[in-house]
Amino acid sequence: MAPHHVLKCCQRSLAWIPVIFINLVVGWSYYAYVVELCIFTIPNNAEKISYLVVFHLFFIMFIWSYWKTICSRPASPSKEFCLAKVEKEQYEKEQPDAQQNILKKAAVGLPVYTRTGTGAVRYCDHCQVIKPDRCHHCSTCDMCVLKMDHHCPWVNNCVGFSNYKFFVLFLAYSMLYCVFIAATVLQYFIKFWTNQLPDTHAKFHVLFLFFVAAMFFISILSLFSYHLWLVGKNRTTIEAFRAPVFRNGPDKNGFSLGFSRNVVEVFGDQKKYWMFPIYTRKGCSYDK
């Protein structure tokens, strides 16, 4: 049987397969659009240049937001949520009821308002920390993640407090990227399909490019719309399926501050930076 660390290494390597797949598709779409469509198929230079300018604008923003989502390290609870050494040793020796008393004393003064379904203080035995509100343990990342939304295999990363803005922008720009390709390729797709253009090596790329762009646009549109709804409600995907429990009981709107402030919670208070995948919220960046 292979050692545990070898299995972990294999799992981490395999987790990059969806990311590699997306990058291969995007790389091919770039070649198909720029080379096969714009250079070899479109005869009008003005149309060709305008298409290339807009295409590269969407392409850059899409790749930028995508890799920011991938590379942003998930935010974990700060040291103040860890039990002191004495408390930790005592916690490990006690029974569940006594353990809760230790956690309640340790949680005094901490900004913790949510509880488990039974009303207990939320504690991660694996990470050995009192869980801040909206924090959950990700078994894939093997850590507690602040404001965890979900673990996304397409970015091989946890989507949460540190990169949720980047993830929403990634969905937005990938959708714009796909719809722009589909809209501009459509007329040449029809011409190739109806044999108004000669059969060349560009035909396959143009026909397939339209189908792929349209397919991805439809699938991303529903996901993007759902996350816009979550932003407006100030909920995570986890909270949408299971309402957070407070001292007075479950409340699905417990973190809502009103639509405008909910948007600011994700994108920051400076609107001029909303469309860029850069840190615009205090506490999101590790350069603080």
What residues act catalytically? 152
The whole-angstrom separation of Cα 83 and Cα 146 is 18
- Residue 208's H or E segment, with its range, is helix 201-233
Please tell me the distance from the alpha carbon of residue 61 to that of residue 177, in angstroms, as a whole number: 9
Pair 33, 185: CB distance under 8 Å: yes
Q: To which residue do tokens 């922008």 refer?
A: 169
Closest by CA position to 125, among listed 154, 156, 160, 100: 100
Residue 251 is encoded by which pair of tokens? 């409340």
Q: Please say whether the beta carbons of 171 and 227 come within 8 A.
A: yes
Q: Are 32 and 40 in contact (CB under 8 A)?
A: no
> What is the spatial distance between Cα 124 and Cα 161, in angstroms, rounded to a whole number?
18
Assign residue 109 a region (left: φ > 0; alpha: ψ between -120 and 50; beta: otherwise).
left
Give the CA angle between residues 153, 159, 163 to the nearest 5°: 130
